[in-house]
Amino acid sequence: MLPLLVMAVVVVVWGLGPPTTKLVTAPPLIGTFVRFGISSPLLIVVLAARRRVLSRKVFIATALPGLSFGINLIFVFATLQEATVSVLSTVVAMQPALLLVLAGPLFREYPTSRQLAFTLAGVVGAVGVILGAGSEIRSSWLGVGLAALSLVTFTLYFVLTRLARSEDEVDPIEWMAGINIWAFLSTIVPILLLADRSDWAQFGGKDWLWIAVVAFVTGVFGHVLMTWLHGHLEAARSSLYILTMHLVAVGLAWWIHDESVTWLQMVSGGVVLLCVALVVTAPDRREVR
């Protein structure tokens, strides 16, 4: 029961992410640089308060997923400047189907036919929630391409973190401290090569507030909880549950950005919730190792 309650919290705080990120007016590189620049020190301080340090082993292990996560956030910021929240959510909603293919060989977690059926139905429902906005969906081809890159880089981060939690007992806060440091490092070279004074001049005012929400609520709080969950839920199952974050994101986009909610979106949202509820009642099926 506790993992499901924690997952519900993750769904809400992650659903808050895209609509809040869209409020940031600064260029993607600047927003990502500042986001990880303020979250990394916080996690180090939290570790120190717990009388722990970031070990060399964890720091090295978080290199690839951390770099993937940092690059992912750059793509997310860039996508939301080229497209509506719905476009990004549509592409990212493909992740559970992708993980169904990867879960067996990578995690030795083989979903049942029931999980397969309802996961695919849930993906269809999520796409309906997102595409149901109709004419409110706006994007350039660049926005679609950036959203696809967001999907690939986030899936790589998700898979590598899940592997770490399945193969070894990793402290979630220590793991995310390493992730955030590497993610911050991933922004330095692009900042030096591509950003100029005019880019920095666009950051300020309420951007600090929205970046703080993305960094501390969606980022630190949400991802630490998700790292803990990787040790308690199957990857394909947890990815299906995360589909419900799109209901939160679309609802908040309607409230914050006036992106409309139609009857098709509401019906599709009901399909997502039904599929999640049916998979929740299905027992875990893991290969005994």
Task: Tell me which of 152-156, 177-181, 234-238 is least confident.
Answer: 234-238
Report the alpha-carbon angle 99-151-63, nearest 5: 85
Q: Identify the H or E element spanning 5.
A: helix 2-21
pLDDT of residue 79: 79
Residues 6+ apart with CB under 8 A from 73: 32, 35, 36, 183
Residue 178 forms part of a structural domain: yes
Residue 187 forms part of a structural domain: yes
**Model-level pTM?**
0.74
Residue 96 Ramachandran class (φ > 0 left, ψ -120 to 50 alpha, else beta)? alpha
Query: What is the spatial distance between Cα 239 and Cα 277, in angstroms, rounded to a whole number?
Result: 14
- Longest CA–CA span in the chain (Å) reads 57
pLDDT above 70: percentage of residues in the chain: 76
pLDDT of residue 179: 94
Q: Which residue segment(s) compose the domain that 119 sits in?
A: 2-280
pLDDT of residue 158: 83
Residue 286 forms part of a structural domain: no
Higher pLDDT pick, 148 / 109: 148
Per-range mean pLDDT, top range of 44-53, 74-83, 92-101, 234-243: 44-53
Mean pLDDT of 99-112: 67
Residue 287 forms part of a structural domain: no
pLDDT above 90: percentage of residues in the chain: 27
Residue 288 forms part of a structural domain: no
Question: Above 90 in pLDDT, residue 211?
Answer: yes
Residue 164 forms part of a structural domain: yes
pLDDT of residue 174: 93
* Banded model confidence at residue 242, pLDDT cuts 50, 70, 90: confident
Torsion of CA 124, 128, 131, 132, to 10 degrees: 170
Higher pLDDT pick, 113 / 156: 156
Residue 200 forms part of a structural domain: yes
pLDDT of residue 288: 38
Residue 41 forms part of a structural domain: yes
- The rounded mean pLDDT for the chain is 80
* Banded model confidence at residue 35, pLDDT cuts 50, 70, 90: very high
pLDDT of residue 273: 67
- Token pair, residue 154, equals 């986030």
pLDDT of residue 289: 39
pLDDT of residue 132: 65
Mean pLDDT of 185-201: 89
Higher pLDDT pick, 105 / 4: 4
- The total of structural domains in the chain comes to 1
